[in-house]
Chains A and B, each alone.
Chain A
Amino acid sequence: MTKPEPVARLLRMLFGPLVWAAHFLLVYAAESVFCRLLDGPGHSIFVITATAIALAMVLLRSSAAMRLKPAASSDHEGFLLRVEMSLSALAGLGILYVGTVGALLPACR
């Protein structure tokens, strides 16, 4: 077996939480931009779009991981894949929470 680049492998395991973090930062920072600078109502649309994209990314990635799992070449590779999937699930939930709340609450007040 060829050794995968370890850092890249670990980052791949953290894909879900990383997307969660990016999504969180984006929707939070965007509120200032939309409300303070653009005076526009676009923030809700932005939040919904960003949430949908983030969720899609996490889903796609975990389905890829799920396909890989049976073929995992070793104990620890299987372990990392299962950790990755569970993390993606939790991250997806986190994204859903943040996105839904963002869409339901009034913006800019």
Chain B
Amino acid sequence: MTPIRERATLDAAAATLPRPEGELDKLEAAWKLPRGWRILSAVNNTVVGQFYIATAFLFFIFAGILGLLIRLQLAVPGNDFLPQETYNQIFTMHGTVMMFLFAVPAVEAAGVLLLPQMLGARDLPFPRLGAFAFWAYLIGGTVFFCTLFFGTAPSGGWFMYPPLTGAQFSPGVGADWWLLGIGFIEISAIAGAIEIIVGVLRTRAPGMTLARMPIFAWSMLIFAFMIVFAFPAVILATILLELERAFDWPFFIAARGGDPLLWQHLFWFFGHPEVYIIFLPAAGMVSMIVPAMTGVPLVGYRLIVVALIAVGFFSFGLWVHHMFTTGIPTRSLGFFSAASMAVAIPSGIQVFAWIATIATGRLRATVPALFVIGFLLIFTLGGLTGVMVALVPFDRQAHDSYFVIAHLHYVLFGGMVFPLLAAITYWAPAFSRRPLSERLGRWAFGLIFAGFNIAFLPMHLTGLLGMPRRVYTYPAERGWDWLNMVSTLGSFILAAGILVFVFNIVRHFRPSGSKPAGDIWGAGSLEWLPNHTYGLRSVPRIDSREPLWEQPGLAREVDAGAHYLPGTATGTRETIVTSPIEGEPEYVMRLSGPGWAHVVAAAGTAGFFLLLTVKLVVPAALCAVAAIVAMVVWMWDCDPPSAGEVDIGGGLRLPTYASGPNSHGWWAVAILAMVAGALYLSFIFSYLYLWVVSPTQWPGGAALPPLASTMLPVAALLASGAALFAAARLLRRERLPRIGLAALLALGALLAAAAVGLDLWAQWQAGVRPQANGYGALVYGHGVLQVQIVSAVVAVGLFAAARSLAGRLTAARRAVFDNLALLWAYALAQMLFGLALTHGFPRLVAEGLPS
């Protein structure tokens, strides 16, 4: 592969050559992987990323087998291959596992694996958090899947609509497995998203401005922000439904002032963006593969960025299009129908940008290119049927029929699995000693493409002929039998293709940290530079979108250590933190190495949620304690003191410590606050929604706690804020009163907790009970959210107090305090707003509006 444009001059190399002896050894020592079984304690993104993607792929295969069982059952009418309850569990698990245990983790895994390499970072900014997310997902996901073997899997559908999934109609533990298991895995997805956002915005190679960032990084950035805003809605929904199931708080029970449709709003506010959450990274992969396979830069780079951002926004305005048949007023349906049309436009832009790129260069018909072509064809069809179901009149027929099954598989399998298979084949040589076999790859592609279409194309017709979804049997006389038989045959051809693909991996993929096959495609992005356990030997300054094409000899220079940070400046793992827009180096960040604390924390967290599901309270509590202890151990060393300024080559001297708004940790907490904010906004929506549905439930002024009862909580919150302020002042002193600071932090945090307790006590005194009606449930549901955020403040506050006592919190080493302060300030704001909402709103509507 020859670069298309030769550049006359190169940037002067940053570091002088040859590099001093021993520099490389020290770098290697800092990044050394644990050996043998201890590899499980590794946190390197390449190791965790490969575990992660392998696990996700395993769940894909398991859920795929469930899909085959479904197809076997439906092959002939009146089949009794699977009992009804088993079938219901299987289709529920097929959807749930594919969505939550395969699709989202798989793309997140791809991000963990590829982003640092692509951005020129040594690792992601929070390696242990990434590993924690992976282990939590692995343990939680495995246990969740295994419930199927004990017949206790959920059977309420992956969408879990109450009242069917409420305590009355689903008394077993199946629904609890779903709510606690999936709710918990979503938290792990959010942890991953935070890491990806900070990684993409802050750890790019010097000179990699937003305008030069690889499209995959753009797509992962938008993906992660979508998770931040979409997942809290479903987390809230799972919290509310679990509270209803466990304690009889009637959020979704219509007869008691709840509403089953509230669940649907919350679920689809997550569920529709979810489709694009899965699709965007896949589109990002395609935008990387197409230029590599055609040998020319992406045409319409900027338009693709625009398309990705626009999809990210528009996809949040579609959720009701899963509810077109619920009897919502016509005009509301129109709003969502219009937004559903608008979201199709950016996809058109992307398709034609890829076509333009193919027209510019010469597409080589490699296996990744074949999968990309397959993706283009299938996804286009899925998009077209998507436009159809976005039309309300058509959707009233197609909804919940096999037409929708066909549509969603065209979009998800075509839009995500095909790109993923392309990506696995394409990036395998970056991590494996040898590439995957082209011959096996072609066979796999042929079988998968043919099998997929044979299986799912007929379903469009099956659906319009009247076959509803989620039926375990159907009568012979409807004319659906031959269509179903064809679909079943197709699904087995598809499965054969997947089998060949897996065989290809098993046969040819040999992970290698230091000697991967490397750039066999002649691609232009940074992940194709020589990679080691420590990532790049040295980090080049980037001044184009395809540095490998524009800067010949870059690979040699980078590996010789001719660019920035050619060794380890502080003797530990580190990476360069750059500014979010221009990618200018700001400081050197030290990264944590391998350890067991985050593994124990993940196991403890998973154990807590899973044991709670089966009501083993004492073991669950023990797991929680283990998790908390492990987290403290893990976090204790995470804020090392400054090592002064260091030279990273090229005359650049960078600090090794940052705190406050410019630091990576503060950014992570800021995003965490956004997650909490999105969760709280979802709650406000629920609160107002249930009021609109049954305003008569809302008590008049007399049944509310007296306004005076808010005095104490408000005072406690203000005092808490004052304590925070005083602590900030104290921290500026040269001679720090450690005990005083610790006492202030602990006291202030506990005051905030007291405020929540006092307010709930006042509600209880006024006679408000969570079981009484939807209003009461909301009041205490609100309390649960406040307890949640204040617990975080108390935990981090006590942690900071302990660090103060240990002398690890000082004027110079204050990142923990700054991060705490941000969380604290957010929590105080949410709690003050909460008091205004729960005491003010009922009064407002009781007096202000006739209802």
Contacts and interface: CB of A to CB of B under 8 A. Distances in A.
A54 interface: no
A18 B316 CA distance: 11
Nearest to B345: A90
Given A93-B342, A98-B339, A101-B338, A87 B330 contact: no
B309 A75 contact: no
A1 B579 CA distance: 15
Given A6-B579, A79-B211, A91-B310, A36 B317 contact: no
Contacts of A90: 306, 310, 342, 345-346
A86 to B, nearest CB: 4
B13 to A, nearest CB: 23
Given A24-B317, A76-B210, A106-B330, 7 more contacts: A21-B316, A35-B329, A37-B695, A37-B849, A100-B338, A101-B331, A101-B337
Contacts of B346: 90
Interface of B: 209-212, 302-303, 305-306, 309-310, 312-314, 316-317, 329-335, 337-339, 341-342, 345-346, 579-582, 692, 695, 849-851
A89 to B, nearest CB: 9
A76 B209 contact: yes
Contacts of A65: none
Given A37-B851, A76-B582, A97 B342 contact: yes
A67 B333 CA distance: 38
| A interface: dominant SS | helix
B309 A97 contact: no
B849 A106 contact: no
A108 B331 contact: yes
A107 B849 CA distance: 21
B581 A80 contact: yes
Nearest to B582: A76
Contacts of A21: 313, 316-317
A40 to B, nearest CB: 12
Contacts of A104: 334
A28 B335 contact: yes
Interface string A65-109: 000000000111011101100110011011001101110111111
Nearest to A78: B211
A17 to B, nearest CB: 4
Nearest to B310: A90
Interface of A: 3-4, 6-7, 9-10, 14, 17-18, 20-21, 24, 27-28, 31-32, 35-37, 43, 74-76, 78-80, 82-83, 86-87, 90-91, 93-94, 97-98, 100-102, 104-109
B312 to A, nearest CB: 8
B581 A102 contact: no
B697 to A, nearest CB: 14
Main secondary structure of the interface of B (DSSP, over half): helix
B335 A27 contact: yes
A70 to B, nearest CB: 17
Contacts of A17: 309-310, 312-314
16 contacts: A9-B581, A10-B580, A28-B332, A37-B692, A37-B850, A76-B209, A76-B211, A86-B303, A90-B342, A90-B346, A98-B342, A100-B338, A101-B331, A101-B338, A102-B334, A109-B330
B179 to A, nearest CB: 28
A97 B209 CA distance: 34
A93 B212 CA distance: 28
A90 B316 CA distance: 15
A24 B334 CA distance: 11
Contacts of B332: 28, 31
A102 to B, nearest CB: 6
A93 B302 CA distance: 19
Nearest to B584: A3
Nearest to A79: B211
Contact of A79 (B210, B695, B850): B210
